Amino acid sequence: MEDRSRLTPERTAFYNKIDKQNMAPLWTVLGDLVTPEPASKCEAAIWHFDEIRTAMLEAGGLITAKEAERRVLILENPGLRGESKITTSLYAGVQLVLPGEIAPAHRHTQSALRFVLEGSGAHTAVGGEKTIMQYGDFVITPQMAWHDHGNETDAPMFWLDGLDIPLVSILDASFAEVLGEDAQAITRKSGQSYAEFGHNLMPVDSVRSGHVSPIFNYPYEQSRETLEAMKRGDDPDPCHGWKLRYSNPLDGGHAMPTIGTFIQLLPKIGTLPYRSTDATVFTCVEGNGKSRIGETLVEWGPKDIFVVPSWKPVVHEPAQESILFSYSDRPVQEKLGLWRELRGNS
């Protein structure tokens, strides 16, 4: 068979010549650029919370939240080491705020989500409003919103940070600034956004529009109750169990423009194989079990974090009814017409 990558002395001489002119042949790289299906360097992987927790507490003895600006350990995908990525398009880290600490106010074009893993009662302030965080709460920091965190409780607080850093980076659209003060001014009552937008109602003259949900804390208590109601009313989906998408009450779209966020209740019988083009980061909220991701088996319990790469088939085998939170770049792929899924074994 003809090999278009085969080197001959003439070809090598030509490639060397055009290399000096910042040109390169397409035919030697075409197969790597346009693959018949996703061929990601992102690997299936799991991080166990007990190991993260131990390392974080050690980090807590080395640097304060204030000095670090954010005391976070990045969860680096083993196939993408050194790139600060958990998938090709998304970042994940675990943040620790110790009692009495403050993570000072800053803002940036990267959007962030927090998913609370341990502790109860620390706060984050976003856009002039504080929200108190509890286990399993999903909290949004929209792009360019000032945000600072504080822990006035007597126990350490841990949460999962998910950001669209690699997406913003590939678009060269990063802007950031520090406020220069520990905490931003508080101008709204705690819980006001949820009260105004979280109950199928909204202020009649609200001029908030699209893009990102005005609800910036989706409390776990509500998500849990909704999953239970779904379970009472419907059979589980064979691939997902009972699965919800966090939505933006302004337009019914995803709660965040760049990151899709989901919570699902897995029935004890588990799920059928499922694959989609949005590599997905999962964390277990309740229960325990195993997931088969292609050839890789991961065993998870509460607060463990695992990643399913694009187009790798996943089968969840919970040991009992279990709840998983997850996030991916699905909203971006949907808007660009790129998102695909495949249900079952085909």
- Candidates 161-169, 209-217, 229-237, 325-333 — which segment interacts with ligand 1HN by CB under 6 A? 161-169
Q: Report whether 277 contacts 340 (CB < 8 A).
A: yes
> Judged by CB, which is closer to ligand 1HN: 103, or 279?
103
Would you call 275 helix, strand, or coil by DSSP? Answer: strand
> Judged by CB, which is closer to ligand 1HN: 112, or 116?
112
Among 95, 223, 261, 326, which residue sits at the site for ligand 1HN (rule: CB under 6 A)? 95
Among 70, 211, 292, 343, which residue sits at the site for ligand 1HN (rule: CB under 6 A)? 70
Length of the chain: 346
We find the least distance from the C-beta atom of residue 247 to ligand 1HN, in angstroms, to be 23
- Secondary element (H or E) of residue 207: none
d(CA 319, CA 269): 9
Among 112, 125, 133, 265, which residue sits at the site for ligand 1HN (rule: CB under 6 A)? 112
Would you call 284 helix, strand, or coil by DSSP? Answer: strand
161 is an interface residue for ligand 1HN by CB under 6 A: yes
We find the least distance from the C-beta atom of residue 131 to ligand 1HN, in angstroms, to be 13
Q: What is the dihedral of CA 173, 179, 183, 185, to 10 degrees?
A: -100
- Candidates 31-39, 158-166, 188-196, 237-245 — which segment interacts with ligand 1HN by CB under 6 A? 158-166
d(CA 240, CA 323): 11
We find the least distance from the C-beta atom of residue 161 to ligand 1HN, in angstroms, to be 4
Among 90, 125, 160, 163, which residue sits at the site for ligand 1HN (rule: CB under 6 A)? 163
Q: Give 97-127 as a 3 state SS string.
A: ECCCCEEEEEEECCCEEEEEEECCCCEEEEC
Number of amino acids touching ligand 1HN (CB under 6 A)? 12
Among 147, 240, 312, 330, which residue sits at the site for ligand 1HN (rule: CB under 6 A)? 147
d(CA 71, CA 63): 8
Among 72, 255, 279, 298, which residue sits at the site for ligand 1HN (rule: CB under 6 A)? 72
> Judged by CB, which is closer to ligand 1HN: 72, or 285?
72
Residue 324 phi, psi (nearest 5): -120, 135
> Judged by CB, which is closer to ligand 1HN: 74, or 244?
74
Q: Report whether 214 contacts 193 (CB < 8 A).
A: yes
93 is an interface residue for ligand 1HN by CB under 6 A: yes
Q: Give 124-181 as a 3 state SS string.
A: EEECCEEEECCCCCEEEECCCCCEEEECCCCCCEEEEEEECHHHHHHCCCCCEEECCC
96 is an interface residue for ligand 1HN by CB under 6 A: no
Q: Report whether 47 contacts 304 (CB < 8 A).
A: yes
283 is an interface residue for ligand 1HN by CB under 6 A: no
Binding site for ligand 1HN (CB under 6 A): 70, 72, 93, 95, 103, 110, 112, 147, 149, 161, 163, 165
